[in-house]
Amino acid sequence: KQEVTQIPAALSVPEGENLVLNCSFTDSAIYNLQWFRQDPGKGLTSLLLIQSSQREQTSGRLNASLDKSSGRSTLYIAASQPGDSATYLCAPRGGNEKLTFGTGTRLTIIP
Amino acid sequence: NAGVMQNPRHLVRRRGQEARLRCSPMKGHSHVYWYRQLPEEGLKFMVYLQKENIIDESGMPKERFSAEFPKEGPSILRIQQVVRGDSAAYFCASSGLASTYNEQFFGPGTRLTVL
């Protein structure tokens, strides 16, 4: 059974700083891994999808890395902005199609 | 290109009533997934459907919950005889034909409150 852990659970950083969010998962037999953001009371916005054969994926100020064999992924956010404040979720996907979610990292960017 | 649509966005039911949650996938998507987010908990998979087929319902509670994705129309998650513990946000996601490597795109969710 896949289990996903995200550390830290909460993070506050001043605007402009670079930061890294961590995700670890127990079952390395995954097809891909998605990073999402969730704003309070809202749905999930897909940020990046990284395939199991990839090491990195980039979109704008976001960069996701994946080390499948060690069961780890990181999300790097460059030059953070107040609008980046949200809960960030990682979700690896196995062959059974379903995503398994961590409990997220609640990020606050301080202006 | 409309995204995943869910309605209603908010639903209030009294204990014992039925709740019907609807999900229209993105255009061209034939795979639908339902997830539940209980208060202060992470999202949990409930069920995976393709048109007219339930592929994986391993996350569905054994009683009172059912899901369908008919040939025409939206996917429906039905909860019979709701209890307070069913209060949660229910999210639907969809993906395209070649789902193995495709992203799942999420709808805005239905927030169910059971009084």
pLDDT digits (tens, 9 = 90+) for A52-95: 899 999 999 999 999 999 999 999 999 999 999 999 999 999 87
Which residues does chain B have within 8 Å of residue A32's beta carbon, measured at their own beta carbons? 101
Digit-coded pLDDT (tens) for B16-42: 999 999 999 998 888 999 999 988 788
User: Cis omega (within 30 of 0) on the bond before B8?
Assistant: yes
Q: How far apart are CA A102 and CA A91, in angstroms?
A: 7
| pLDDT (0 to 100) of residue B101 | 62
Angle at B99 between CA A87 and CA A65, to 5 degrees: 45
Q: Closest approach of chain B CAs to the CA of A93, in angstroms? A: 9
**Interface subset of A 29-88, CB within 8 angstroms of B:** 31-32, 34, 36, 41-46, 49, 51
H-run or E-run covering A63: strand A62-67
Q: How far apart are CA B96 and CA A65, in angstroms?
A: 24
Nearest to B49 by CA among B82, B77, B18, B27: B77
Task: Provide the 3-class DSSP secondary structure of residue B104.
Answer: coil
